[in-house]
Amino acid sequence: MKTKKITFSALLIAIGVMAGSVIYIPVGVSKCFPVQHTINVIAAIILGPSYGVAIAFCISLLRNILGTGSILAFPGSMIGAFVAGIIYKKTNSYLAAAGGEIFGTGILGALAAFPIAKFVMGKKVAAMFFVAPFLTSTVGGSIIAYCILKVLDVSKIKSLRNEA
C-alpha cells in the first residue's frame, strides 16, 4: 500500500510542478499558484497531513530549483496542507478541509512568509502584506479542489490514507 501512496504522491508532485509553473497570478512580490492549493486539499484528504506537507514541500522545492517558484511558496503551501489534513482528519468534511487550507495558507502561511520576505529576501513589507495575495491564491485553489472531490467519488481512493 505504501507504494500506491508514493506513486500517487509523485503524480501530484508532477502535476503541481508542471501545471503549477504555468498557471499563476502575479501579485506583488509573490506568485499565486491555485494549482498548489488544489493539490494541497486533495493530498490532505486522500493521503493525510504528513503526505500533504511532504508533497507541498517537494513541489515548492522543485519549482524553486527550476526557477518557476518563490521561496515564499514553502510556508504557505506546507502550513496550508498540514491544517487541511488535520481538519479533515477530525471532521471528515471536504468543505472543512478546504477551509483549513484557506486559513492555513491565507492567514498562517502569509504571516510566516513575512519574516522570510523581510530578512531573507530583503523586501520592505508590512506583516500583513501577504495575506491578500495568499488568500487570493488559496481560495481559488481550494474551491477547485472541493469541486473536483465532490464530482469524483474518492471513497475508494481515501483508503490509501488509512492503510500502511
pLDDT at residue 82, as a whole number:
97
Nearest-angstrom CA–CA distance, 88 and 110: 21
Query: C-alpha angle with apex 137: 54 to 9, nearest 5 degrees?
Result: 25
Residue matched to cell numbers 502561511? 109
3-state SS class at 32: strand
pLDDT at residue 164, as a whole number:
44
Domains annotated for the chain, with CATH where assigned, are: 2-159 (1.10.1760.20)
pLDDT tens figures, 18-32: 987 677 767 666 566
pLDDT tens figures, 31-87: 667 899 999 999 999 999 999 999 999 999 999 999 887 888 899 899 999 999 999
C-beta of residue 141 within 8 angstroms of C-beta of residue 42 = no
The three grid cell numbers given for residue 145, joined into one nine-digit string: 479542489
